Amino acid sequence: MRLSLSLSAIAILSSIGFSAAASQEGTLPLATFQLESPDNPTVGRVVVKGSQTYPDFKSLEAFAFGKHFVLTKAQLKLLRGFSPNGAQLSQISPGFSSPGGMVYLVLTNGFMSGEPARRFIVFTPSGNVGVGGRP
């Protein structure tokens, strides 16, 4: 009798439709962004601003080393198709890889797990700007 009740319960429960949906992670790209650092004795206060409408960056500019940097259309084109959902600022001290140091903007596109895709924008005290997949 107990076995028939258990089998009946299983039959009833299996006939009820259970819907299970797996959650799916997606990125939320940055349409506009602005990052600011406190004043630093080597690079000064760093401010970076940018905007994009996928697949193109509309603008990217920075203030560092007391200079104003504006990426050219050719430099922005190097970022075409890259849609970041994260950004960070880093500094390389003078003498380590450059006489006056460097400021790196690292744009990332990634998920909670795994290694994100990255693009690097490098600003130097001489006024140069580099854009690429690696620093």
The C-alpha atoms of residue 14 and residue 30 are separated, in whole angstroms, by 45
Residue 17: C-alpha distances to residues 13, 20, 80 (Å):
8, 10, 46
DSSP states of 20-40: -----------SEEEEE----
Structure confidence at residue 93 (pLDDT): 75
In tens digits, the chain (135 residues) has pLDDT values of 554 545 454 454 454 454 455 668 888 999 999 999 999 988 999 999 999 999 999 999 999 999 999 999 999 999 999 999 999 999 987 766 665 689 999 999 999 888 999 999 999 999 999 999 876
Structure confidence at residue 22 (pLDDT): 61
Structure confidence at residue 19 (pLDDT): 47
Which residue ranges make up each domain of the chain? 28-132
